[in-house]
Amino acid sequence: MLSLRTPRHILRASKAITCRNFSSSPVNAAAAEVKKIGVIGAGQMGLGIALVAAQKAGLTVRVIDNSQASLDKGLKFADKLLQKDVGKERITKEQATSIRQLLIPSTKMEDLSDVDFVIEAVPEIPDLKNKIFGQLAEICPSHAILATNTSSISITKIAAATSKDPTNLSAPSRVISTHFMNPVPVQKGVEIIIGLQTSQDTIDTALDLCRKMGKIPSQSADSPGFLANRILMPYINEAIICLETGVGKRDDIDSIMKNGTNVPMGPLQLADFIGIDTCLAIMKVLYEETGDSKYRPAVLLRKMVDAGWLGKKSGKGFYDY
């Protein structure tokens, strides 16, 4: 903690660090121009990011997945969203065709050799992400920003996976998280998470790209749960504790939060949409990495995962689907 006796040069340094990590000021001239991006992962999240980049920012997007079936399914999802926009007269058929042509699918990571910015959106498996970022450090140009869509894994650790290539020593400084909120075409928020090695130029470029995609970025330090999940998951967990201890019934818990705090969805219904297993996994990360008992997962949360009641995706959670 800084005291009134702290020398001025230390105060100035502390202020600079604070501004670097948490400032929401406009992007400066250090932001590099991004013309072509890559997205790794053709699931709902990855295709959502790719589609918004093409539709809002007019960028060519190479969509990479190791499964051709996943690519085909993802592109059908993109087609469905574009046709929906045409039906609502948000865009014309010609515009939909032009946007669709900007999405270039591939099963080869090597096709990212000419991108300016890449966003990884694969499952939250640390070893998988570390492997991908080690490959990106070798494949991508030396100026390319390497971003992850992780919602829980340390950015500093992911960045360290890129330092194994001695010919590309700048790679860790170009790693950052652009954590898009789901569903990407609808939600405006993007959480920009800054690792220990992340350079200011990388931050500026990521902020600039997100704004061009029509998003509203918020910055977070590399801390367990970052901002969104650090706040959201304990809220959901406490709602589950209220249910399991009889403080309130399911409908009453969701109703009071919707009608009392003006949120569009109650915490239990929201947990179903996020995935009960995902909620448990994030609570475990918060609990294990902080050691703070306030992050201990609810007993009922663990039991529901054991039962396979994972929410909307499994057909049953706190609600039936």
Integer-rounded Cα radius of gyration of the chain:
21
Give 166's contacts (C-beta < 8 A, 6+ positions apart). Answer: none
Q: Is 233 annotated as a binding residue?
A: no
The whole-angstrom separation of Cα 166 and Cα 171 is: 10
Reduced to 3 states (helix: H, G, I; strand: E, B; else coil), residue 92 is coil
Give 119's contacts (C-beta < 8 A, 6+ positions apart). Answer: 37, 38, 39, 40, 46, 49, 147, 148, 149, 178
Q: Is 293 annotated as a binding residue?
A: no
Q: Is 313 annotated as a binding residue?
A: yes
Q: Is 182 annotated as a binding residue?
A: yes
Q: Is 246 annotated as a binding residue?
A: no
189 burial via Cβ count (<10 Å: 0-12, 13-18, 19+):
middle
Q: Is 45 annotated as a binding residue?
A: yes
Q: 105: which strand partners?
A: 63
Q: Is 129 annotated as a binding residue?
A: yes
Q: How far is CA 242 from each of CA 228, 250, 259, 292, 310, rounded to the nearest angstrom?
A: 22, 9, 18, 19, 19
Q: Is 65 annotated as a binding residue?
A: yes
Q: Report which DSSP code applies to 214.
A: T
The whole-angstrom separation of Cα 118 and Cα 140 is: 9
Q: Is 201 annotated as a binding residue?
A: no
Q: Is 43 annotated as a binding residue?
A: yes
Catalytic residue numbers read 151, 179, 191, 229
Q: Is 259 annotated as a binding residue?
A: no
Length of the chain: 321
Binding residues for NAD(+): 41-46, 65, 124, 129, 151, 182, 313
Binding residues: 41-46, 65, 124, 129, 151, 182, 313
